Amino acid sequence: MGKKWSPVQNNRFVAPKSRFMSLYQPKTRFNVLKLPLIGPLLRWRWGRLIFQSVLLIVAVLLLYDGFSGPQFAPENLSTVVTWIHYRGIIVFGFLLLGNIFCMGCPFTMPRTLAKRLAISGRRWPKFLRNKWLAIGLLFFFFWAYEYFDLFASPLLTAWVILGYFIASFFLETIFSESVFCKYVCPLGTFNFVSSTISPLQITIEDRNVCNTCTGRECLNGTTAMGQPGNPITKNGAVISLDSIDVLGCGTELFAPRIKSNLDCTLCLDCVRACPHDNVILGARNPLKEVKEGTWPARWDISFLVLIFTFSALGNAFGMVGPVFQLEAWLANVLNVQDEALPLLIIFGVTNLIMPIGFGLLAAWTSRALAKREEPIRNTLARYVPAFSPLAFSIWLAHYGGFHFLGSAAAISPVFKNFLEDHNIYFLGEPNWTMAAIVPLNWLDPMEMGIILVGLLASLYVLGERAKKAKPKKDKTLAQLPWMLLLIGITVAAFWIFYLPMEMRGVSIFA
Amino acid sequence: MLRKLILLPSLFVLLTACGGRNSNQANNSNLDIAVDVESMMVGATDLMVTILDENGSPVNDATVSIKGDMSHAGMQPVLGESSSGSAGVYTIPYEWTMAGDWFITVDVSRPDGETASARFDFSGIGGDMEGEMDHGDMDHGEIEMEMDGEEMESGSE
């Protein structure tokens, strides 16, 4: 997470007076960047651009079909790819690799252009340098997804994609850092929390190299360097920095102090910028970060993780019958015809009030049972990372299990239909029976299994974090409120997933 | 410069809106198509597709294909077909596989090459948890849609 350095002229960060600061160099099993083919591709100056270009082509295709294609969600690439494949692929990506979408995010492609057009290069306001805005936008996104039935509207889905491009571009233009990724983007916020259980992380190979580094190119980029009398050498030769021109970390993470995937977009700019080849993409135990990591004891981060957890329930709850009955009851009580307010109340309770309320209650009880005298914020921060595995497992079961495994093959007939509508027939006739890529009767047990594994991982992390409590470890009694909360969330997830799905949403734009 | 950059996405939207994808599904007839369904609850049922020609006479020589999709992306469609009509009515076994909002797309082709296609909105298919009363109040009986520039009606009543 963040650093304590002060920005100076040209938004360049300088090292503190004490050269030998606390640098983090975990034991790394292997460096992905040393793999043949993949490593050189990732390290290549234009490596990210290749991934981004592929996703940009996909995004343009989705925009095209969303705006101009049939406004029928099951047959439009915009809705099928966005709500089935995007969500499914990213959750499996977190599980197997890391934040791969942010790595190839096409929305940030205009970043370099925006930087060159920067009006003032100003800093993001201090009062917004936290996760509150991101939490608000994430909440709004989930509400809007249900209220506007985005999954049923190709047109609105296309507008969402276009909105991302525009918002990213303007924020990158106005501000000197990647504020869109770090403080605004709901997708990025979702991805950051999810990637805390990913097996890959940016770190360093040798802390001594960082200790003697003066340029901090991983943070500043090579464009900020090239100062007279301060040449950077590699293998004994002075590097011409002007010819490299690589941006440093957009979210202002300093590679040798990264202990968490939070805020890391996996853009690998730090890797490319480091003239010493000392920044690596290392493999780690997927639970290492949540088990050992020390996230800042900040309200916004703790509540973000809890809200991420309860939103997994809220989002799934929006797909089952009782939510419609509840909506209808609320609409009747409130005497409103529109579902905006009832939905806001339902999501307000499930996605905001419950996580904050239960989180504070568990922290207060846990602190009392441990007989500690510490701010509630610290108790909360100690145990909140334990929610990441369970939360992610619920999202994985929903997006990866139900939607992706249950529907991924639908891309075949939809794409063939798209081609046919453009008089392209070489792929053959669409076979509309294609949808699931696993037998449908596997889905329920798989989803339950995934959630159960998530619970077990969370309970394990909880125990490990209790052991690390200072000045003395927390006994089981102090963990009890958290255990109950984790088990309660799991039971709620089981209940929701076992309910028959009820997919409503006839878009007003259909 | 910035103004031009603002204009780019707008231009893209306009271009795609003006000259986008056109479905190859052809309607070259004035057939009237109506769809009736026995049950609006999750489970097996029969769809009755009624086809009349422009004079209001029943059409019995058509091949009728139906494709049931949910309103959102990704659910496996339910397919069916019939080529034997009686008094213009084609009965096709069907299954509502999930509660929620459905669309039934009907494709009709006749031996003389005449084809027609129409889509019908069946919102509010009920789940196992809900009682019949809930669905008795639903307004799914009158479904309007457009075919060949004319509005047509389909109903379950």
The ipTM value here is 0.74
Predicted local confidence at residue A58, as pLDDT: 96
Give residue A438's pLDDT band: very low, low, confident or very high (50, 70, 90).
very high
Backbone Cα Rg of chain B: 19
SS (H, E, C) A427-453: CCCCCCCCCCCCCHHHHHHHHHHHHHH
> Which residue is associated with the tokens 């990441």?
A388
- Does this model's pTM top 0.90? My answer is no
Distance, CA of A257 to CA of A253 (rounded, Å): 8
Among A4-18, A132-146, A237-251, A408-422, which stretch is predicted with the lowest mean pLDDT? A4-18
Q: Which two tokens stand for residue A489?
A: 């969330």
Residue A76 has pLDDT above 60, yes or no: yes
Q: Which two tokens stand for residue A509?
A: 């734009």
- In this complex, the residue of B16, B21, B128 whose CB is nearest that of residue A500 is B128
* B77·A80 Cβ contact <8 A: no
> What is the mean predicted confidence (pLDDT) over A146-170?
93
Max CA pair span of chain B:
67
Contact A372, A379 (CB under 8 A): yes
Residues of A in contact with B130 (CB under 8 A): 321, 325
Shortest Cα distance, chain B CAs vs residue A421, angstroms:
5
A248-to-A150, A274, A469 alpha-carbon distances in Å: 36, 9, 35
Contact B51, B85 (CB under 8 A): yes
> What is the mean predicted confidence (pLDDT) over A155-179?
89
CA neighbor of A73 nearest in space, from B121, B126, B36 = B121
B72 touches chain A (CB under 8 A): yes
SS (H, E, C) A62-112: HHHHHHHCCCCHHHCHHHHHHHHHHHHHHHHHHHHCCCHHHHCCHHHCCHH
B113 touches chain A (CB under 8 A): no
Predicted local confidence at residue B142, as pLDDT: 33
> Which residue is associated with the tokens 């608000």?
A136
CA dihedral A496, A490, A132, A145 (to 10 degrees): -20
- In this complex, the residue of B42, B71, B121 whose CB is nearest that of residue A73 is B71
B133 touches chain A (CB under 8 A): no
Predicted local confidence at residue A21, as pLDDT: 56
Contact B27, B115 (CB under 8 A): yes
Distance, CA of A386 to CA of A196 (rounded, Å): 11
A496 touches chain B (CB under 8 A): no
Distance of CA B135 to the CA centre of its chain: 20
The helix or strand, by DSSP H or E, that contains position A387, with its residue range, turns out to be helix A387-395
What's the whole-number average pLDDT of chain A? 87
Residues of B in contact with A162 (CB under 8 A): 9, 12-13
Both ends of chain B: CA-CA distance in Å? Answer: 60
A203-to-A28, A99, A256, A352, A450 alpha-carbon distances in Å: 9, 15, 6, 34, 29
Give residue A502's pLDDT band: very low, low, confident or very high (50, 70, 90).
confident
A84 → chain B, closest CA residue:
B74
Q: List the pLDDT tens digit at each of the 157 positions of chain B.
A: 444 444 455 555 554 554 555 554 445 568 899 999 989 999 999 999 999 998 999 999 999 999 999 988 878 889 999 998 899 999 999 999 888 899 999 999 999 888 899 999 998 888 754 433 333 333 333 333 434 333 333 333 2
Give residue A320's pLDDT band: very low, low, confident or very high (50, 70, 90).
confident
| DSSP structure class, residue B139 | -
Contact B34, B84 (CB under 8 A): no
> What is the mean predicted confidence (pLDDT) over A250-273?
91
Predicted local confidence at residue A178, as pLDDT: 85
What tens digit of pLDDT does each residue of A108-140 get?
776 666 666 656 568 899 999 999 999 999 999
Which own/partner pairs from A348-356 qualify as long-range (CB within 8 Å, at least 24 positions apart)?
A350/A310, A350/A311, A350/A313, A350/A314, A350/A317, A351/A139, A351/A142, A351/A307, A351/A310, A351/A311, A351/A314, A352/A139, A352/A307, A354/A310, A355/A303, A355/A306, A355/A307, A355/A309, A355/A310, A356/A303, A356/A306, A356/A307
Contact B62, B109 (CB under 8 A): yes
* A410·B124 Cβ contact <8 A: no
Both ends of chain A: CA-CA distance in Å? Answer: 43
Q: Which two tokens stand for residue A305?
A: 């993780």
A403 → chain B, closest CA residue:
B74
Q: Which two tokens stand for residue A241?
A: 């920095």
Contact B17, A67 (CB under 8 A): yes
Residues of B in contact with A63 (CB under 8 A): 12, 16
Shortest Cα distance, chain A CAs vs residue B72, angstroms:
4
